[in-house]
Amino acid sequence: MDNRDPYVYKNADRGMTWKLISAGLPKHPLSYVRVIAEDPNRKGLLFAGTGNGLYYSLDDGGHWSALDEGLPHAPVSWAVVQPEFHDLVVSTYGRGIFILDDIGPLEQQVGSEREPEVRLFVPRSAYRFLRSGRAYITFSLKTAPKAPVKIAILDAGNKVLREWERPGKAGLNRTWWDLHHAGPRLVELRTTPVDNPNIWIEPRFWGKDTRPVTHWGVSLKDVGGPIALPGKYTVRITVDDKTFT
Protein backbone atom coordinates (compact mmCIF):
# COMPACT_ATOMS: atom_id res chain seq x y z
CA MET A 1 0.00 0.00 0.00
CA ASP A 2 1.13 3.57 -0.82
CA ASN A 3 4.06 2.16 -2.81
CA ARG A 4 4.12 3.64 -6.31
CA ASP A 5 7.53 2.31 -7.38
CA PRO A 6 7.66 0.45 -10.71
CA TYR A 7 7.53 -3.34 -10.42
CA VAL A 8 7.96 -5.66 -13.41
CA TYR A 9 8.93 -9.31 -12.92
CA LYS A 10 10.08 -11.83 -15.49
CA ASN A 11 9.54 -15.58 -15.34
CA ALA A 12 11.20 -18.15 -17.60
CA ASP A 13 10.53 -21.45 -15.78
CA ARG A 14 6.74 -21.63 -15.60
CA GLY A 15 6.37 -19.72 -12.38
CA MET A 16 9.12 -21.34 -10.31
CA THR A 17 11.30 -18.23 -10.01
CA TRP A 18 10.79 -14.54 -10.71
CA LYS A 19 13.31 -11.82 -11.56
CA LEU A 20 12.78 -8.10 -11.05
CA ILE A 21 13.52 -6.30 -14.36
CA SER A 22 12.22 -2.80 -13.59
CA ALA A 23 15.24 -1.52 -11.68
CA GLY A 24 16.15 0.86 -14.51
CA LEU A 25 12.79 2.66 -14.50
CA PRO A 26 12.79 6.02 -12.69
CA LYS A 27 11.06 6.26 -9.31
CA HIS A 28 8.60 9.07 -8.58
CA PRO A 29 4.93 9.34 -7.48
CA LEU A 30 3.66 8.35 -10.97
CA SER A 31 6.19 5.65 -11.88
CA TYR A 32 3.94 2.65 -11.20
CA VAL A 33 3.69 0.32 -14.21
CA ARG A 34 0.27 -0.04 -15.83
CA VAL A 35 1.16 -2.24 -18.83
CA ILE A 36 4.09 -4.29 -20.12
CA ALA A 37 4.28 -5.56 -23.74
CA GLU A 38 6.81 -7.43 -25.84
CA ASP A 39 7.36 -6.77 -29.53
CA PRO A 40 6.22 -9.89 -31.45
CA ASN A 41 8.85 -9.21 -34.14
CA ARG A 42 11.81 -8.83 -31.79
CA LYS A 43 12.40 -11.00 -28.75
CA GLY A 44 13.55 -8.98 -25.76
CA LEU A 45 12.17 -5.63 -26.97
CA LEU A 46 9.83 -4.56 -24.18
CA PHE A 47 7.55 -1.55 -23.70
CA ALA A 48 6.44 -0.42 -20.26
CA GLY A 49 3.64 2.09 -19.77
CA THR A 50 3.75 3.94 -16.45
CA GLY A 51 1.61 6.52 -14.71
CA ASN A 52 3.15 9.33 -16.75
CA GLY A 53 5.06 7.93 -19.73
CA LEU A 54 6.35 5.13 -21.94
CA TYR A 55 9.69 3.32 -21.75
CA TYR A 56 11.41 0.66 -23.85
CA SER A 57 14.10 -1.94 -23.25
CA LEU A 58 16.24 -3.65 -25.89
CA ASP A 59 17.61 -6.31 -23.56
CA ASP A 60 14.57 -7.88 -21.90
CA GLY A 61 14.39 -5.35 -19.07
CA GLY A 62 18.10 -4.99 -18.37
CA HIS A 63 18.09 -1.30 -19.29
CA TRP A 64 15.23 1.11 -19.91
CA SER A 65 14.99 4.33 -21.95
CA ALA A 66 12.21 6.89 -22.24
CA LEU A 67 10.20 6.93 -25.46
CA ASP A 68 8.63 10.37 -25.30
CA GLU A 69 9.26 12.02 -28.67
CA GLY A 70 5.88 13.55 -29.53
CA LEU A 71 4.12 11.65 -26.72
CA PRO A 72 2.66 13.73 -23.86
CA HIS A 73 3.37 12.78 -20.28
CA ALA A 74 0.16 10.93 -19.46
CA PRO A 75 -0.78 7.56 -17.94
CA VAL A 76 -0.15 4.85 -20.56
CA SER A 77 -2.89 2.27 -20.14
CA TRP A 78 -2.07 -0.08 -23.04
CA ALA A 79 0.61 -0.74 -25.67
CA VAL A 80 0.65 -3.17 -28.58
CA VAL A 81 2.78 -3.64 -31.73
CA GLN A 82 1.04 -4.33 -35.05
CA PRO A 83 3.26 -7.14 -36.40
CA GLU A 84 2.88 -6.54 -40.15
CA PHE A 85 3.17 -2.75 -40.21
CA HIS A 86 5.61 -2.62 -37.25
CA ASP A 87 3.62 0.22 -35.68
CA LEU A 88 3.50 0.81 -31.92
CA VAL A 89 -0.01 1.72 -30.75
CA VAL A 90 -0.35 3.33 -27.33
CA SER A 91 -3.47 4.33 -25.43
CA THR A 92 -3.33 7.01 -22.75
CA TYR A 93 -5.71 8.23 -20.12
CA GLY A 94 -7.21 11.53 -21.22
CA ARG A 95 -4.89 12.18 -24.19
CA GLY A 96 -6.18 9.70 -26.76
CA ILE A 97 -4.46 7.01 -28.83
CA PHE A 98 -1.02 7.49 -30.40
CA ILE A 99 0.66 5.50 -33.18
CA LEU A 100 4.43 5.48 -33.69
CA ASP A 101 4.92 4.54 -37.35
CA ASP A 102 7.47 1.84 -38.15
CA ILE A 103 9.57 0.96 -35.11
CA GLY A 104 11.82 -1.16 -37.32
CA PRO A 105 14.92 0.82 -36.22
CA LEU A 106 14.22 -0.22 -32.61
CA GLU A 107 13.63 -3.83 -33.61
CA GLN A 108 16.92 -3.97 -35.52
CA GLN A 109 19.04 -2.57 -32.71
CA VAL A 110 20.90 -4.69 -30.18
CA GLY A 111 21.38 -3.42 -26.65
CA SER A 112 25.15 -3.98 -26.45
CA GLU A 113 25.91 -3.03 -30.05
CA ARG A 114 28.12 -0.01 -30.77
CA GLU A 115 26.40 2.32 -33.18
CA PRO A 116 28.29 2.60 -36.53
CA GLU A 117 29.03 5.89 -38.28
CA VAL A 118 26.19 5.29 -40.75
CA ARG A 119 23.44 2.73 -40.56
CA LEU A 120 20.65 2.15 -43.07
CA PHE A 121 17.82 0.19 -41.47
CA VAL A 122 15.95 -2.46 -43.43
CA PRO A 123 12.67 -0.81 -44.50
CA ARG A 124 9.38 -2.45 -43.65
CA SER A 125 7.19 -3.71 -46.49
CA ALA A 126 5.36 -0.87 -48.22
CA TYR A 127 1.81 -1.24 -49.48
CA ARG A 128 0.44 0.44 -52.58
CA PHE A 129 -2.97 1.96 -51.96
CA LEU A 130 -5.22 3.82 -54.39
CA ARG A 131 -3.07 6.68 -55.72
CA SER A 132 -1.03 6.71 -52.54
CA GLY A 133 1.35 4.80 -50.29
CA ARG A 134 4.74 5.40 -48.75
CA ALA A 135 7.91 3.45 -48.19
CA TYR A 136 9.67 4.79 -45.10
CA ILE A 137 13.47 4.99 -45.28
CA THR A 138 15.27 5.38 -41.94
CA PHE A 139 18.99 5.77 -41.34
CA SER A 140 21.16 6.89 -38.45
CA LEU A 141 24.23 9.12 -38.58
CA LYS A 142 26.78 9.40 -35.80
CA THR A 143 27.67 12.93 -36.92
CA ALA A 144 26.07 15.38 -39.32
CA PRO A 145 27.43 14.94 -42.89
CA LYS A 146 29.19 17.68 -44.80
CA ALA A 147 26.84 17.46 -47.79
CA PRO A 148 23.17 16.52 -48.20
CA VAL A 149 22.40 12.80 -48.13
CA LYS A 150 21.53 11.33 -51.53
CA ILE A 151 18.74 8.75 -51.65
CA ALA A 152 18.00 6.52 -54.64
CA ILE A 153 15.46 3.79 -55.40
CA LEU A 154 16.57 1.00 -57.75
CA ASP A 155 14.51 -1.73 -59.38
CA ALA A 156 15.40 -5.43 -59.66
CA GLY A 157 17.71 -4.64 -62.61
CA ASN A 158 19.57 -1.95 -60.62
CA LYS A 159 18.00 0.80 -62.72
CA VAL A 160 17.50 4.04 -60.81
CA LEU A 161 13.80 4.93 -60.65
CA ARG A 162 13.93 7.92 -58.33
CA GLU A 163 16.59 10.12 -56.74
CA TRP A 164 16.46 12.99 -54.26
CA GLU A 165 18.52 14.70 -51.56
CA ARG A 166 17.81 15.76 -48.01
CA PRO A 167 19.86 17.32 -45.21
CA GLY A 168 21.29 14.85 -42.70
CA LYS A 169 21.55 15.32 -38.95
CA ALA A 170 23.23 13.40 -36.17
CA GLY A 171 20.91 10.68 -34.86
CA LEU A 172 17.91 9.13 -36.58
CA ASN A 173 16.82 10.46 -39.97
CA ARG A 174 13.68 9.49 -41.87
CA THR A 175 12.46 10.17 -45.37
CA TRP A 176 10.06 8.32 -47.65
CA TRP A 177 9.45 7.27 -51.23
CA ASP A 178 5.94 7.87 -52.56
CA LEU A 179 6.16 4.68 -54.69
CA HIS A 180 6.28 6.67 -57.94
CA HIS A 181 8.85 6.87 -60.70
CA ALA A 182 10.58 10.16 -61.38
CA GLY A 183 8.36 12.72 -63.05
CA PRO A 184 8.61 13.64 -66.73
CA ARG A 185 11.17 16.12 -67.94
CA LEU A 186 9.22 19.33 -68.41
CA VAL A 187 9.61 21.26 -71.65
CA GLU A 188 10.79 24.86 -71.29
CA LEU A 189 10.63 27.55 -73.97
CA ARG A 190 13.18 30.22 -74.88
CA THR A 191 10.95 31.97 -77.41
CA THR A 192 8.96 35.12 -76.86
CA PRO A 193 5.24 34.69 -77.47
CA VAL A 194 3.83 36.83 -80.27
CA ASP A 195 0.87 37.96 -78.18
CA ASN A 196 3.05 38.91 -75.16
CA PRO A 197 6.37 40.43 -76.23
CA ASN A 198 6.97 41.79 -72.69
CA ILE A 199 6.78 38.43 -70.94
CA TRP A 200 10.42 38.53 -69.82
CA ILE A 201 9.89 41.65 -67.71
CA GLU A 202 7.24 39.90 -65.61
CA PRO A 203 8.53 39.33 -62.02
CA ARG A 204 8.11 35.55 -62.28
CA PHE A 205 10.70 35.44 -65.10
CA TRP A 206 13.26 37.90 -63.74
CA GLY A 207 16.77 36.52 -64.19
CA LYS A 208 15.54 33.58 -66.30
CA ASP A 209 16.00 32.74 -69.96
CA THR A 210 13.38 29.97 -70.18
CA ARG A 211 9.72 29.64 -69.31
CA PRO A 212 7.65 26.47 -68.77
CA VAL A 213 4.88 25.34 -71.04
CA THR A 214 1.60 26.40 -69.44
CA HIS A 215 -0.82 23.59 -68.62
CA TRP A 216 -3.96 25.32 -67.43
CA GLY A 217 -5.35 23.75 -64.25
CA VAL A 218 -2.24 21.63 -63.64
CA SER A 219 0.45 22.56 -61.14
CA LEU A 220 3.76 21.70 -62.76
CA LYS A 221 5.46 21.05 -59.43
CA ASP A 222 2.95 18.27 -58.75
CA VAL A 223 3.49 16.40 -62.01
CA GLY A 224 4.86 13.00 -61.00
CA GLY A 225 5.78 9.80 -62.73
CA PRO A 226 3.75 6.57 -62.90
CA ILE A 227 3.26 4.50 -59.77
CA ALA A 228 5.72 1.62 -59.34
CA LEU A 229 4.64 -1.97 -59.81
CA PRO A 230 4.57 -4.30 -56.78
CA GLY A 231 7.93 -6.03 -56.38
CA LYS A 232 11.30 -5.82 -54.71
CA TYR A 233 13.33 -2.62 -54.77
CA THR A 234 16.67 -1.48 -53.41
CA VAL A 235 17.27 1.62 -51.29
CA ARG A 236 20.65 3.30 -51.71
CA ILE A 237 21.93 6.24 -49.68
CA THR A 238 25.16 8.13 -50.20
CA VAL A 239 26.70 9.95 -47.24
CA ASP A 240 29.85 11.97 -47.97
CA ASP A 241 30.76 9.74 -50.94
CA LYS A 242 30.13 6.49 -49.02
CA THR A 243 27.31 4.30 -50.30
CA PHE A 244 25.01 2.00 -48.32
CA THR A 245 22.20 -0.25 -49.59
User: Does residue 155 fall inside a structural domain?
Assistant: yes
Q: d(Cα 10, Cα 18) in Å, to the nearest integer?
A: 6
Name the domain count of the chain. 3
User: Does residue 2 fall inside a structural domain?
Assistant: no
Higher pLDDT, 222 or 235: 235
For residue 27, give its domain range: 9-107
Give tens-digit pLDDT for 24-65.
899 989 999 999 999 999 999 999 999 999 999 999 999 999
Residues in the chain: 245
Q: Do residues 138 and 198 share a domain?
A: no
Exposed / middle / buried, residue 151 (Cβ in 10 Å: 0-12, 13-18, 19+): buried
Q: Do residues 137 and 161 share a domain?
A: yes
Residue after which a domain boundary falls, among 54, 76, 107:
107
Q: Do residues 17 and 59 share a domain?
A: yes
Sign of CA dihedral 140, 235, 135, 181: positive
In this prediction, residue 239 has a pLDDT band, given cuts at 50, 70 and 90, of: very high
Q: Do residues 169 and 97 share a domain?
A: no
Of 225, 137, 121, the C-alpha closest to 176 is: 137
User: Does residue 4 fall inside a structural domain?
Assistant: no
Q: Do residues 54 and 129 share a domain?
A: no
190: three-class secondary structure by DSSP: coil
Give tens-digit pLDDT for 161-215.
999 999 999 999 999 999 999 888 778 889 988 988 888 888 988 988 888 876 6
11: three-class secondary structure by DSSP: coil
Are 92 and 39 contacting, i.e. CB atoms less than 8 angstroms apart? no
Sign of CA dihedral 26, 32, 34, 35: positive
Are 100 and 90 contacting, i.e. CB atoms less than 8 angstroms apart? yes
Residue 138 phi/psi, 5-degree rounding, is -120, 135
Q: Is the pLDDT of residue 119 over 70?
A: yes
Q: pTM of the entire structure?
A: 0.78
Exposed / middle / buried, residue 48 (Cβ in 10 Å: 0-12, 13-18, 19+): buried
Give tens-digit pLDDT for 123-163.
999 998 877 789 999 999 999 999 999 999 999 999 999 99
Q: Do residues 169 and 83 share a domain?
A: no
Q: d(Cα 85, Cα 180) in Å, to the nearest integer?
A: 20
